[in-house]
Amino acid sequence: MKTKNIMIVGVGGQGSLLASKLLGRLLLSRGYDVKVSEVHGMSQRGGSVVTYVRFGERVFSPIIDEGEADFIVSFELLEAARWTSFLKPEGTVVVNT
């Protein structure tokens, strides 16, 4: 299986970090190699939070570069817009409105 890249984005306090950890554990339990990375900057003050979840047969890096995300799951509309440059042309965005 080719590596899949998921970004979970939101603002501090919305549960982005928890969602990425839960997704990572679920994927591990299904036998995938999983890498999870989090960048939460000012998350405690309602700032931007982004986490990367990469999974597949073999994953070497937890980082997703621009144009590589298969999915962006956003807990907030503005954050979805902020991170769209990371989405593949055929990628999917799921936004909580």
- Per-residue pLDDT, 40: 58
Q: Which H or E run includes 80? A: helix 77-82
What are the pLDDT digits (tens) for 68-93?
A: 999 999 999 999 999 999 999 999 99
CATH architecture label of 5-95:
3-Layer(aba) Sandwich (3.40)
Q: Rounded mean pLDDT of the chain?
A: 91
Please say if the pLDDT value at position 43 is more than 60: no
